[in-house]
Chain A
Amino acid sequence: MDIAHGLMIGLAIVFTPFNVFLVFVGAVIGTLVGILPGLGVTATVAILMPVVLGMTPVTAMIMLVSMFCGARFGGAITAIMMNLPGESSTIVTCLDGYQMALQGRAGPAMGLAAISSFVGGQVSIVMMMMLAPVMAKMAVGFGPPEFFSLTLMGLSLVTSLTGKSLVKGFLAATMGLVLATVGSDMFSGSLRLTMGRIELMDGINFVMVAVGLFALGEILLNVEQGVKFSLGKVPRGLRNLLPTWQDIRQCIPTWIRSTIIGFIVGVLPGTGATVASFLSYGVAKSTSKTPERFGTGAVEGVAAAESADNASTSGALVPMLTLGIPGSAGTAMLMVVLLMFGLRPGPFLLPEHPEIFWGIVASMYIANIMLLIINLPLIPIVVQALRVPYNLMYIIIIVVGSIGVYSMDYSIFDLWVMGIFGVIGYCFKKLDYPPACLLLALILGPMVERAFRQSIILSDGSFLIFIERPVSAVFLVFAVLALFAPWLQRYFLAKARR
Chain B
Amino acid sequence: MMKKLRWVNFSLRYITVVSLFMVGASFFTFDALSAEYPSRPVEIVTHSAPGGPNNLIAHLIAEVVQKEKILPQPVFVTLKPGSGMAAAFSYLFEKKGEDHLWAVTSNGLILGTPLRVKLPYTYRNFTPIANICVDGSVMIVSAKSPYKTMDDVLAAAKKSPNKLAQGGSSITSNEAMMGKVMQKIKGVQWKFVSFAGEMEAATNVMGGNIDFAFLNPSSVLEHVRAGNLRVVLAASTKRYKAFPDVPTVQEAGLGKPQISYRALMGPPEMPQHAVKTLETAAKKIVESAQFKKYMDQSMMQEEFMDAKKLAAFWEEDEKLVKQQMIDGGMLNKDGSIKQK
Chain A interface residues toward B at CB < 8 A: 32, 36, 39, 42-43, 46-47, 49-50, 53, 139-144, 183-191, 196, 198-199, 201-203, 269-270, 319, 323-326, 329, 332-333, 335-336, 339-340, 342, 344, 346-348, 388-389, 392, 395-396, 399-400, 403, 407, 409-411, 450, 454, 457-458, 460
Contact = CB atoms under 8 A, between A and B. Distances in A.
Given A188-B171, A457-B165, A202 B203 contact: no
Interface stretch (B89-97, B131-139, B231-239, B257-265): B89-97
Interface in B12-61: 14-15, 18-19, 21-22, 24-27, 49-51, 55-56, 59-60
B197 to A, nearest CB: 9
Given A32-B21, A50-B66, A202-B87, A336 B50 contact: yes
A187 B204 contact: no
5 contacts: A50-B74, A184-B86, A188-B171, A344-B218, A347-B222
B34 to A, nearest CB: 21
A269 B78 contact: no
B91 A409 contact: yes
A32 B178 CA distance: 46
A395 B51 contact: no
Interface stretch (B206-214, B244-252, B310-318): B206-214
The 5 closest A-B pairs by CB, nearest first: A332-B50, A143-B209, A346-B222, A347-B226, A202-B87
A457 B191 contact: yes
Nearest to B162: A460
Contact of B63 (A49, A142, A190): A49
Nearest to B58: A46
A342 B10 CA distance: 47
B90 A140 contact: no
B337 to A, nearest CB: 9
B79 A42 contact: yes
Contacts of B15: 399
Contacts, number: 191
Given A42-B50, A43-B78, A140 B206 contact: yes
A46 B8 CA distance: 35
A102 to B, nearest CB: 21
Nearest to B82: A202
Contacts of B165: 457-458
Contacts of B188: none
Contact of A458 (B51, B60, B193): B193
B191 A186 contact: no
Given A347-B222, A407-B25, A189 B209 contact: no
Contacts of B195: 454
Contact of B27 (A139, A339, A410): A410
B288 interface: no
A324 B83 contact: no
